[in-house]
Structure 1
Amino acid sequence: MRARTWGHRLLWVGLLAVVVWRYLPDYRLPDLGPAPPLAGTAISGEAVDLGAYVGQVVVLNVWATWCPPCVVETPGFVDLANSFEGDVQFVGLAAEDDEDAVRRFGARYEVPYPLVMVGALDGPAPEGRVLPTTYVIDRAGRVRMRHEGLLLEPALRPVLKRLARE
């Protein structure tokens, strides 16, 4: 009976380790290089240019309406965008072709930040093999975090607080 209990405990510890490794950001926030030039037109019609956000922390989230983890993380991103208004600029980069679906999604979740279709970019889209992929860019325009997969609000908030203070 004891061996079975220890086996279950080890299994749970292993699963917890996988979740922590996979879903928590790298809090060391190394300098990953300059943010790529990214400019385009949001579905609202406003011009979006990452270069114009130098001096602010930027969260660039590559996502899609049909992506379940993207749907899960969106309410937290909306909360963070509202909490850090003026210090952190969120930009959603929709990796799909259906602008109406993106427009409905933005309205449903009351997304306060620009949503840009990948096809509306003036240049190449950021690389990403996984949806969602989130980039956090510091005030100097340097990528400080690249996270593939689900990124929840409690994990991202301390990163934004730290970079907003720098």
Structure 2
Amino acid sequence: MGEPLDGWRRQWESPAGRRARRIAYWLVLAALAVVVVRRYLPDYDLADLGPAPPLAYADLDGETVRLDAFAGRVVVVNVWATWCPPCVVETPGFVDLAAEFEDDVQFLGVSADQDTSLVRPFGERYSVTYPLLVGPNLAGPPLAAPVLPTTYVVDRRGRIRMRHEGLLLEPALRPVLRELAREQP
């Protein structure tokens, strides 16, 4: 009764079995890498998705910040929340990109949190240098963000060129910003 199992065990532990397991391991790892890269570092077609809506939200000091104040610059509008794990993951990359493209790109973080006492410590913890705004009713116009985070990229002419729902990593956003920063207004 133990013979079929013993035969299988001998094959599994043989040099050929170990080689087969190693090959299977690397194939599974390569397939997983392809899935991760395609999901979190996608290629974007920078289509014209229409004009950006007239956004106006309060910053952490209560001052109104309007999207049209950044006319002629590329603007990244990231709708996020302090309690959102993917938002936490992407924030340091956005801070780095904001510094890298400071002459051409303006980042705006629109928080779904209504309480600035939650947003301010988040900004300090992650050394956020771009304006953090508090926006009411983010599920509807002017920013439809049923998924957090949602990121919009607006070109120099005020047209939405990219909309991404979910985690957006720095290596995926960098080529988009590079391309849009080269475009003339």
- TM-score exceeds 0.5: yes
C-alpha distance in 1 between matches for 2:142 and 2:43 = 23
Say whether 1:132 aligns with 2:149: yes
Matches within 5 A, 1:1-166: 1=17, 4-119=21-136, 124-166=141-183
CA RMSD of aligned residues (A): 2.1
Native 8 Å contact 1:35 1:143 kept in 2 = yes
Unaligned runs of 5+ in 2: 1-16
Structure 1 position 59, deviation (Å): 0.4
Q: 1:120 to 1:103 in 2, by over 3 A?
A: farther
* Amino acid in structure 2 at the alignment position of 1:15: L
Structure 1 position 5, deviation (Å): 4.4
* Amino acid in structure 2 at the alignment position of 1:31: D
Could you say which structure has the greater relative contact order, defined with CA pairs below 8 angstroms and 6 or more residues apart? 1
Q: Deviations over 1:78-117 (max 9, x none)?
A: 1111221131010001012221010111122221111111
Specify which structure has the higher proportion of helix.
2
Q: How many residues end up aligned between the 2 structures?
A: 165
C-alpha distance in 2 between matches for 1:129 and 1:40 = 18
Residue aligned with 2:135, SS: strand
Unaligned runs of 5+ in 1: none
Length-normalised TM-score, structure 2: 0.79
Q: 1:100 to 1:120 in 2, by over 3 A?
A: farther
Native 8 Å contact 1:57 1:163 kept in 2 = yes
Specify which structure has the higher proportion of strand.
1
Structure 1 position 157, deviation (Å): 1.5
C-alpha distance in 2 between matches for 1:30 and 1:6 = 41
Q: Deviations over 1:91-149 (max 9, x none)?
A: 0010122210101111222211111112298x935112321111111101111111122
C-alpha distance in 1 between matches for 2:171 and 2:76 = 15
Length-normalised TM-score, structure 1: 0.87
